[in-house]
Amino acid sequence: MSHAIYQTPAIILKTKNMRESNKLVLLYTERFGLIYGTLQSIRELKSKMKFHTQTLSLVDVDIIQGRDIWRIVGIHEREPSLGFVETSFYPFMNNIADLLLRMLQGEESHTEIWDDLLFLYTTAKDTLTESDYQALEIIVVVRLLYYLGYWNGDTECIEPKNFLTTELFNTVLNNRKKYIQSINQGIKDSQL
């Protein structure tokens, strides 16, 4: 019996070794949202895909839907995390990945969330300072809460498609306490 192979871009949010040579991979995909996938025999020496499964890498995956879990049959790196592991972008994206794992429940595509994440990978990773990342983290969390329906605060962070402006960063940093209180309330309201 043949199975349909789906191809989609994805971000590797987390990995976990399983059994002798398998790996469980949590992916946020453009097409299916948050999915759990397995890679069979990925940790064996002969595996060609083992170097393409670094946490926080932007990848293209070929997946097959199983009964309970997806099987990853192909993976190709677009933006390997080894290229930015020593920068401020890595801990920033790690915090965003943790929040995504906490807030997203099940397989559901969110085009706006994917567009924001892709925008971060293509634009933000090379150009920002440490204080910019502090403002950017607040902006991205506000946008995520808004897209999931848990944001009741101001919409100035949500409206612009390009949210990497100095003006927006300054606004967020000047009102940091207010934003953090609203973020905490949104997370509390989500009960997740």
pLDDT single digits (tens) 72-81: 888 899 998 8
User: 181 lies in which domain range?
Assistant: 83-190
Boundary (domain end) residue, out of 16, 50, 82: 82
Tell me the pTM: 0.88
145: nearest Cα among 106, 112, 109, 167: 112
Measured CA to CA in angstroms, residue 26 lies from 15, 90, 161 at distances of: 6, 17, 27
Quote the number of domains for the chain: 2
pLDDT digits (tens, 9 = 90+) for 22-50: 788 899 999 999 999 988 776 666 666 66
Kindly state whether residues 70 and 91 are assigned to the same domain: no
> 3-state class of 160 per DSSP?
coil
**Contact criterion met (CB below 8 Å) for 76 and 52:** yes
